Amino acid sequence: MSTSLPTRGGDTETVSPPRPPGPKGQPTGGSGRPQWRQRLSRLDHTLAPYLYISPFFLLFLVIGMFPLLYTAWVSVHDWSLLGGKGEFVGLDNYREVLQNPYFTKQLVNTISIFAISSVPQILIALVLAALLDNQLRARTAWRMSILLPFVVSPVAVAIIFGSLYGDRYGLANEILGVVGIDPVSWHTNRLASHVAIATMVNWRWTGYNALIFLAAMQAVPRELYESAAIDGAGRLRQFLSITVPMIRPTMIFVIITSTIGGLQVFAEPRLFDQTTARNGGSDRQFGTITMLIYDFGWQLRDLGRASATAWLLFLVICAFAVVNFLLIRRLGRLGTIGGRG
Amino acid sequence: MQTPKSRRVRLATSALVALTLATTAAACGGGGDDASADGTTTITVATFNEFGYEGLIDEWNAANDDIKIKQVKVGTWDDAKANLYTKLAAGSGLSDIEAIEGDAMPAIMAESDAFVDLTDPELDGRWLDWKAAAGTNSEGQMIGYGTDVGPEGICYRADLFKKAGLPTDRDEVAKMMGTWDDYFALGDEFVEAMPGAAWYDSSGGLAQAMLNQVANPFETDDGTVDVENPELEAVYTAVTDNVDRGLSTRVAQWGDDWNAQFQEDAFATMACPGWMMGIIEGNSEGVDGWDIANAFPGGGGNWGGSFLTVPAQGEHQEEAKKVAAWLTAPEQQAKAFEAVGAFPSQVEAQDSPEVNEATNAFFNDAPIGEITADRAAAITVQPFKGPKYSDILTAFQAAVLRVDDGSKDPDASWDQFLADVEALG
């Protein structure tokens, strides 16, 4: 951590190697004490910031990095939940997982649920934030109320939505029946089950993301809107050409974090499940990758395969995050260009 | 972000917890005993579903000053199982006494080292022989004290029978259910008269009831997995064929729709071990007409019935053993039967007047003590259940459900079941 770190805030100092005290700070009183103090002060200046942020990295090493590496170590062994470590098997666990038909199926489910939930979720959050960014009466109350679903425990959410989406006696099907639509098999039809789970996820997270967007929108200088209005730009035009490009860094943050979360979706589908195995429907119609990890680890009691799956998921998430990052950067740039044109 | 506890966070938390526990344990240095200043020890008892222990625990706590009992309840065995395996793997965190579901007992006994040997010569002859055997491992150590057993009868809706023009008297109904073919034929009659309703509650439940009459459903006597045997295939074919006949409700047992259909006149009969009566009553609020027939197609069968075990990681093993022995004593089991219908596995309790003369108002004042005792006497086959029984059963029920809910045809679903069993390793 001590070698050639980038310069800090336009300052020309680097962390290492430490430079000798410059002529500017020459002692005037002649005694040694000021020089010592000066050296201390310089040390304070260069080292302290790193000490301040070090607890996070130390904590991350212990509770983030260690499990990650330990999981990798487990994934190349025969490792039973109760029996513990067995022999070294190399990449056998990875091969077995990749050949398991459920892996492909549950990976597709995961991506599908992620796409159905995250895309509308972010768009709705963006629109909601734009609406809340107006001069409303009782502004704070409105803003806080959209966070309400986030406070509700996911277990409660799953129970409520589970009974809404009952195949036989659920409210959703009864409402569809009134309109004359045949009942939907929410737990058996693959796409329908993904939609049902996506609504659960969206209900919980849209408000949260909207608040983050709102915070970013508040930082957009109001003069931009005023001059745009003078130029004759309407509300929609202002939103697309000023708001969206200006909050791009926040959008990248929200999209990356919801990619990570969306690909790890677990509680909602597991609690939505009605079967005793809880693997995501009788034919794993809505089983996700994290549910497969749970199945391998805690139901088949094979931590080796579970860890291999966890690492595969980690790689998938990294790939998705990178793709999303590149996409949003390009989109953002297009938005700016469009705004200028 | 969307899943509140990501895997990494969970791993991290467990690492932290483990670290904390390790340091605490080191600090305690062996002398660690959480007996409070006045010398009382608290024994925690983890149960699932309904064991009927609430009254018993009050009784014990009123009579004993040195040991107090505290119950830890969860909803279903599946939740209890997840907790059990996680904490067995972690080596800490389990209750002093853990209740184990009967079908899972063979898998638990494969991990005998993690449990205390409860063998006690004074308790010889307390249990039915096969129940005692099911709690004893190959080295002759008793790992679990038996609580209840589940002799199966047929619970039925007399009011729906009447509407369909079938006899409603429980003795007459019993006579019409000698074999599974009789039972299914009666079902054809019923669904023809009542097109909106099914004959039984769920294919999964029925399949499990039928499996309890098969000597070697999934494994041979030496514990080798053999799921391609004719008896198992016969059960699978019978159950999956009935889907097209309209006999099945086509919902998953224990799910929301399953719970809801008790209120909807959706089905007329169900396989009914003693403990199921409490569940039916709980789900059928406001519904009249339930009754129980003293018969089970194809002979008797036992479904479920649990055990109390003492995990070796507990700090108060002697006290826990004493409490487990007390909770499974005949007098206490008779009271649990009165509370929730869990039929005792103790010889003496089964013969007691409290059990023998019991009736149940909800089931049209049926003499449930007498009926359940008859059903217990009719049990001739105890299926062999090896360590993989519970895992294979879960896969089997998923296979049945796939046909029920229409996601696979019977052949494709069977092939998937074979692959699932293969993957158990």
**Which pLDDT tens digit goes with each residue over B235-290?**
999 999 999 999 999 999 988 889 889 999 999 999 999 889 888 998 999 999 99
pLDDT tens per residue across span B296-351: 999 999 998 999 999 999 999 999 999 999 999 999 999 999 888 889 999 899 99
Q: Which helix (H) or strand (E) holds B71?
A: strand B67-74
The answer to whether the Cβ–Cβ distance between A275 and B397 falls below 8 Å is: yes
pLDDT band at A205 (very low <50, low <70, confident <90, very high): very high
pLDDT tens per residue across span B33-76: 444 556 789 999 999 988 989 999 999 999 999 999 999 998 88
Any chain B CB within 8 A of the CB of A151? no
The answer to whether the Cβ–Cβ distance between B89 and A258 falls below 8 Å is: no
Residue A191: what pLDDT?
96
Q: What is the DSSP letter of A76?
A: T
Residue A229: what pLDDT?
92
Q: In residues, how long is chain A?
A: 341
Kindly list the residues from chain B whose CB atom is less than 8 angstroms away from the CB atom of residue A205: 1-2
Window B:239-268, CB contacts with A under 8 Å: 251-258, 260-261, 264, 266
Residue in this structure with the two tokens 């093993």, named with its chain if needed:
B317
Please report, as a single letter, which amino acid is at residue A278: R
CATH of domain B150-303+360-424: 3.40.190.10
With H, G, I as helix, E, B as strand and everything else as coil, classify residue B346.
strand
* CATH topology agreement for domains B40-149+305-351 and B150-303+360-424: yes
The answer to whether the Cβ–Cβ distance between B8 and A64 falls below 8 Å is: yes
pLDDT tens per residue across span B216-236: 999 999 989 999 999 999 999
Q: In residues, how long is chain B?
A: 425
The answer to whether the Cβ–Cβ distance between B15 and A101 falls below 8 Å is: no
A200-204, A250-254, B13-17, B223-227 — which is least confidently predicted? B13-17
Closest CA–CA distance from residue B2 to any residue of chain A (Å): 4
Under a CB-based contact definition with an 8 Å cutoff, are residues A97 and A314 in contact? no
pLDDT tens per residue across span A17-54: 444 444 444 444 445 566 888 888 888 888 888 888 99
In a mutagenesis test of the B interface, which of A85, A211, A258, A275 is the best target, namely the one with the most B β-carbons within 10 Å? A275
Choose the closest CB to A162 out of B204, B256, B261: B256
Window B:104-123, CB contacts with A under 8 Å: 111, 114
Choose the closest CB to A205 out of B2, B401, B405: B2
Q: Please state the domain extents for chain B.
A: 40-149+305-351, 150-303+360-424
Closest alpha carbon within chain B to A270: B3
With H, G, I as helix, E, B as strand and everything else as coil, classify residue A186.
coil
Choose the closest CB to B394 out of A167, A276, A301: A276
Q: Taking Cα atoms as reference points, which of A109, A81, A84, A88 lies closest to residue A298?
A: A81
Higher pLDDT among residues A155 and B414, named by residue: B414
pLDDT band at B25 (very low <50, low <70, confident <90, very high): very low
The answer to whether the Cβ–Cβ distance between B258 and A201 falls below 8 Å is: no
- Angle value at C-alpha A30, between A26 and A36, nearest 5 degrees: 65
Most confident residue range from A162-166, B88-92, B401-405: B401-405
pLDDT tens per residue across span A273-327: 988 888 999 999 999 999 999 999 988 889 999 999 999 999 999 999 888 888 8
Reply yes or no on whether the pLDDT at B193 is more than 50: yes
Under a CB-based contact definition with an 8 Å cutoff, are residues A121 and A258 in contact? yes
Rounded to the nearest integer, the mean pLDDT of chain A is 85
Closest CA–CA distance from residue A55 to any residue of chain B (Å): 16
Kindly list the residues from chain B whose CB atom is less than 8 angstroms away from the CB atom of residue A154: 4
Any chain B CB within 8 A of the CB of A167? yes
With H, G, I as helix, E, B as strand and everything else as coil, classify residue B392.
helix
The answer to whether the Cβ–Cβ distance between B16 and A63 falls below 8 Å is: yes
Any chain B CB within 8 A of the CB of A169? yes
Please report, as a single letter, which amino acid is at residue A270: R
Residue B38: what pLDDT?
65
Residue B59: what pLDDT?
96
With H, G, I as helix, E, B as strand and everything else as coil, classify residue B399.
helix
Residue A36: what pLDDT?
85
Choose the closest CB to A167 out of B1, B12, B257: B257
Residue A33: what pLDDT?
65
Integer-rounded Cα radius of gyration of chain B: 23
A260-264, B114-118, B214-218, B421-425 — which is least confidently predicted? B421-425
Residue A18: what pLDDT?
46
Mean pLDDT of A258-266: 92
Kindly list the residues from chain B whose CB atom is less than 8 angstroms away from the CB atom of residue A279: 398
Choose the closest CB to A293 out of B7, B260, B408: B7
Reply yes or no on whether the pLDDT at A4 is more than 60: no
Q: What's the predicted TM-score (pTM) here?
A: 0.83
Residue A169: what pLDDT?
86
Reply yes or no on whether the pLDDT at B113 is more than 60: yes
Any chain B CB within 8 A of the CB of A73? no
pLDDT band at B153 (very low <50, low <70, confident <90, very high): very high
Reply yes or no on whether the pLDDT at B80 is more than 60: yes
Kindly list the residues from chain B whose CB atom is less than 8 angstroms away from the CB atom of residue A283: 402, 407-408, 416
Question: Angle at which helices B410-423 and B389-404 pack, to 10 degrees?
Answer: 160
Which structure tokens are listed for A79?
A: 């490792």
Under a CB-based contact definition with an 8 Å cutoff, are residues B306 and B104 in contact? no
Q: Which CATH topology does B40-149+305-351 take?
A: D-Maltodextrin-Binding Protein; domain 2 (3.40.190)
pLDDT tens per residue across span B291-302: 999 999 999 999
The answer to whether the Cβ–Cβ distance between A281 and B407 falls below 8 Å is: yes
With H, G, I as helix, E, B as strand and everything else as coil, classify residue A153.
coil
Residue A183: what pLDDT?
92
- From residue A300, alpha-carbon distances to A51, A292, B107, B421 in Å are 45, 10, 12, 10
User: What are the helix (H) ranges across chain A?
Assistant: 33-60, 66-75, 92-99, 101-132, 139-145, 148-151, 154-164, 171-179, 190-218, 222-230, 235-238, 244-246, 248-263, 267-272, 289-294, 303-340
Higher pLDDT among residues B21 and A184, named by residue: A184
Q: Residues B6, B12, B15, B21: is their CA dihedral positive or negative?
A: negative
Closest alpha carbon within chain A to B260: A169
With H, G, I as helix, E, B as strand and everything else as coil, classify residue A216.
helix
Q: What is the DSSP letter of A19?
A: P
Higher pLDDT among residues B160 and B3, named by residue: B160
Compute how many other C-beta atoms are within 10 angstroms of the C-beta atom of residue A217: 20
- One-letter-per-residue 3-state SS of B230-278: HHHHHHHHHHHHHHHCCCECCCCCCCHHHHHHHHCCCEEEEEEECCHHH
Q: Which helix (H) or strand (E) holds B73?
A: strand B67-74
Kindly list the residues from chain A whose CB atom is less than 8 angstroms away from the CB atom of residue B12: 63-64, 67
Reply yes or no on whether the pLDDT at B188 is more than 70: yes
Q: Could you write out the DSSP letters of every residue in B263-317?
A: GTT-EEEEEEETTHHHHHHHH-TT---EEEES--TTS--B---EEEE-BTT-S-H
Mean pLDDT of A262-268: 92
Measure the CA–CA gap between B39 and B32, rounded to whole angstroms.
14
Reply yes or no on whether the pLDDT at A206 is more than 50: yes
Kindly tell me the burial class for residue B62, based on how many C-beta atoms sit within 10 Å of its own C-beta (0-12, 13-18, 19 or more).
Answer: exposed
The answer to whether the Cβ–Cβ distance between A66 and B15 falls below 8 Å is: yes
A108-122, A127-141, A304-318 — which is least confidently predicted? A127-141
Mean pLDDT of B115-134: 93
User: What are the helix (H) ranges across B144-201?
Assistant: 158-163, 170-175, 180-193
Residue in this structure with the two tokens 């074999």, named with its chain if needed:
B179
The answer to whether the Cβ–Cβ distance between A166 and B257 falls below 8 Å is: yes
Closest alpha carbon within chain A to B403: A282
Higher pLDDT among residues B386 and A3, named by residue: B386
Measure the CA–CA gap between B282 and B259, rounded to whole angstroms.
10
Which structure tokens are listed for A238?
A: 């202002």
Measure the CA–CA gap between B46 and B74, rounded to whole angstroms.
8
Q: Residues B295, B296, B300, B305: is their CA dihedral positive or negative?
A: negative
Closest CA–CA distance from residue A164 to any residue of chain B (Å): 10
Closest alpha carbon within chain A to B14: A63
Under a CB-based contact definition with an 8 Å cutoff, are residues B308 and B99 in contact? yes
Closest alpha carbon within chain B to A121: B2
Under a CB-based contact definition with an 8 Å cutoff, are residues B368 and B358 in contact? yes
Higher pLDDT among residues A75 and A324, named by residue: A75
